[in-house]
Structure 1
Amino acid sequence: MLSLSAGDGARRVPFDRPATVHSSTDGLTPDSEYPSKYSLKRFQESYSSLKSIRLCGVKRHRCNGALCARCSPKRQRRHRRELMAALAASKPVYALLWTATIASTPERPLGELWSDLDKLNAYMVSGSWLSSRVDGYVRSIEIERTPSGWHPHAHTLLVFRNKLSRTDAVKLAREIQARWLRSADLRGIAASAKGQRVQVVPMGQLSTVVDYITKSHMTTRSSRTPGTVTPAMLLGSAYRGDADALDLLTELERSSYRRRTWQPGGMLTRSSSS
């Protein structure tokens, strides 16, 4: 596992140590008071700022939205199923998990931060820069709310037909980080080396990683770092009458309009893009 940090003297975990990837729902205990999917959907029919979500279910219409209590669980299951099928068909022999972030600040709205993240992600794939180095990838965008403000970030699974040597894997990881940080600097986007991470995914843990990058939907309240709130937690709090949570949820809905949160590439293009 390679963990990249700022500074030449930064501690580095041995690259060839097996990576342990945990789902954010590990250890989650059932909460009998948490509202059901149907209760949340009825709430959204009255309070969602998105017409597609409010009308989801009318005349059998389905919005397939990532923020819809009715559709998001099915959407994530479909992404998982299609990605696992693409992995089985392409038979990669090596994989990396790359997590990319930008700095969170309390005063910046989510829409601005998300646009910054999209700009950097677009630059990473421009000119076939990424596809010329990997055989396939799939990117999942996650949005959280932390004490430091909104925290949009990207998890990207990179897969290879051939096994990388330790030297080549370290080189690629450093190229990814350097390109991301250089692009951020040129665009005036705040991003720290400490927030970027590339780690080895043992082939036996691929399904665990797929679970990890498809875990977020609107009817699962995830176990997170204290103070970190997921979209599902915002919806649950708004349902219980928290007006501040409803305001944040509305900002999230409006910021998500026409945004792509799931994008496959290369030999993983069998996985749907939406």
Structure 2
Amino acid sequence: MIPSRVNLINVLVPVKRAIDYAVKIRIAKDGKGVDTTVKHSMNPFDEIAVEEAIRLKERTKAVTSIIALSIGPAKSVETLRTALAMGADSAVHIVTPEAPSPSSNPEPVNVAAAIKAVIDRSKAAGADKAIDLVIMGKQAIDDDSGSTGGMLAGMLGWGQGTFASKLDVDKASGKVEVTREIDGGLSRIESKLPIVVTTDLRLSEPRYASLPNIMKAKKKKIESLKPEDLGIDLSPRMSVLSVSEPPKRVGGGKVENVDELVQKLKEGGIV
């Protein structure tokens, strides 16, 4: 007998391998991107999403499975291993070509389509495998698009709770409450499962993976898929013409009095 779906919540957490936040970004030699031959790590907002999924499982016992998903070249497996070491149960890797292939770093709309395909595939595998909740970072720090979560919810026809600073799931009713920080206060929204939730910085503080968990992560399953296995096309719809650094700041000048300052402001078109 299959238990009620309210008592079975499978969580999908998409994670992205991005340039580490501490790395100084440099323009690539071809002027059409940034230098990617630097240290990479899990996108910080995605790391928060993994932590929240684990806490949800520990706190409510409503979560039965946490699946990490990454879309990218072979090295994305390292990011998935990090998620597994933190506490995710299994992982899915959608393999893309190595850079500089245009589809090595898919656009948000293609990422959303890929995540949807994985969710549809989980439904086809049976009720106990179906994904009910997606927790993902509100944005990736490399492109700062912040649009994948909303696109995914639209494609699925699910509810969405964006920029979550607090997340509560009621196991009995299957209701989800998302608290968001807004100007001057807090906004709370309530939705029934299934739902897409995107994480803000203050939702949780990611844990460090312990050595035993790192060792256990090596034995956890990572399923490798190609885009064609899911019937999706990750070809870009846009092309980057050029990337350039912002102009360097120049030193300011000194003025002798207020009248001279006003004149300078007028000449600069400020007044």
Asked whether the two chains share a fold, i.e. TM above 0.5, the reply is no
What TM-score, normalized to structure 1? 0.27
Answer 1 or 2: which has greater helix percent: 1
Q: Which one scores higher on RCO, CA 8 angstroms, separation ≥ 6?
A: 1
